[in-house]
């Protein structure tokens, strides 16, 4: 089983590397990072925080966009190119195929995230080299916080990949991308939705808000960008719970994807 899943994941990774949209989004991410030079120059002594904020935001935003657009088109492309028929004629289950596709895209997004992180730190060190060299101990602490923020941004990307794959099992790539995008946007504002529950008078509206709050992933919990910029580290228990939450959500989405995909008729 693991060999079959690894083979699908490896193939998916190699196919993803050849996608033009990957390099287009990556280019925009790099341009946004370099734009932090100008933004930092306009700030009043907050150039370190500006550079960090823009860099972390770039990694998160474009990592999520890559996860959305590529995850939403995986199954569709395999069906259109008829490669899925060849895959499924081999002794491989559809659930294994989905897990392999998920791991392949997760690996690709991981490599892209590492690449953007390297560029981000290169910009950070180059632009603020005098501060880093004179206050190395203090800045090392902040670097650890920033890496932690990037790690948890990647966990959010993994959830996005799982969601996009789920919608791709029964909708077109465009529809799957749009739905996943709105799920991500709403998931970043679940704290606001929770606060609205006590303010609305309609019981139906309260029930709907509660359903949205408990069903959609809470991406705001995985966003440690603001904490990292100010050197604030959440408790170890909180960080572990976020990892567990991410794993559970991904497993549930892949299980739902497998249920839908097993019932899908290939034509």
pLDDT at residue 129, rounded to an integer? 55
From first to last of its 267 residues, what are the pLDDT tens digits of the chain?
A: 777 788 888 887 787 787 777 777 778 777 777 776 666 555 555 666 777 788 888 889 989 999 998 888 888 887 777 777 777 677 778 888 899 999 999 999 999 999 888 888 887 777 655 444 444 444 444 577 888 899 999 999 999 999 999 999 988 899 999 999 999 999 988 878 777 777 777 777 778 878 888 889 999 889 888 777 777 778 889 899 999 999 999 999 999 999 998 887 666
* Domain chopping of the chain, boundaries: 2-188+223-262
pLDDT at residue 39, rounded to an integer? 64
pLDDT at residue 140, rounded to an integer? 46
Read off the tokens for 7.
Answer: 């083979």
- Confidence (pTM): 0.87
Cβ-based neighbours of 141, under 8 Å, separated by 6 or more: 231
Read off the tokens for 108.
Answer: 């690709």
Q: What is the rounded CA–CA span in Å between residue 120 and residue 203?
A: 47
pLDDT at residue 139, rounded to an integer? 47
Read off the tokens for 11.
Answer: 């193939």
pLDDT at residue 253, rounded to an integer? 95
Length of the chain in residues, anyone? 267
CA distances (Å), 64 to each of 163, 175, 192, 211, in order?
11, 16, 21, 24
pLDDT at residue 46, rounded to an integer? 61
pLDDT at residue 141, rounded to an integer? 40
Largest CA distance in the chain: 65
H/E element, 127: helix 94-127
């Amino acid at each position: 089983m693991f060999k079959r899943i690894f083979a699908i994941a490896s193939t998916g990774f190699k196919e993803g590397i050849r996608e033009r949209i990957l390099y287009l989004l990556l280019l925009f991410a790099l341009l946004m990072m370099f734009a932090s030079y100008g933004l930092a120059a306009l700030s009043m002594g907050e150039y370190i925080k500006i550079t960090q904020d823009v860099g972390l935001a770039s990694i998160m935003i474009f990592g999520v966009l890559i996860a959305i657009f590529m995850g939403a088109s995986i199954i569709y492309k395999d069906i259109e190119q008829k490669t899925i028929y060849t895959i499924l004629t081999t002794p491989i289950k559809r659930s294994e195929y989905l897990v392999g596709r998920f791991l392949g895209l997760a690996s690709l997004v991981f490599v892209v995230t590492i690449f953007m992180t390297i560029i981000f730190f290169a910009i950070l060190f180059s632009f603020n080299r005098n501060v880093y060299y004179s206050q190395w101990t203090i800045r090392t602490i902040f670097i650890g916080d920033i890496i932690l923020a990037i790690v948890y941004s990647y966990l959010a990307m993994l959830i996005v990949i799982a969601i996009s794959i789920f919608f791709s099992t029964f909708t077109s790539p465009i529809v799957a991308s749009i739905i996943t995008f709105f799920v991500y946007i709403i998931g970043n504002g679940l704290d606001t939705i929770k606060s609205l529950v006590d303010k609305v008078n309609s019981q139906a509206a309260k029930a709907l808000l509660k359903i949205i709050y408990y069903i959609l992933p809470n991406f705001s919990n995985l966003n440690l960008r603001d904490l990292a910029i100010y050197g604030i580290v959440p408790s170890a228990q909180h960080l572990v719970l976020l990892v567990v939450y991410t794993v559970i959500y991904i497993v549930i989405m892949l299980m739902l994807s497998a249920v839908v995909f097993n019932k899908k008729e290939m034509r």
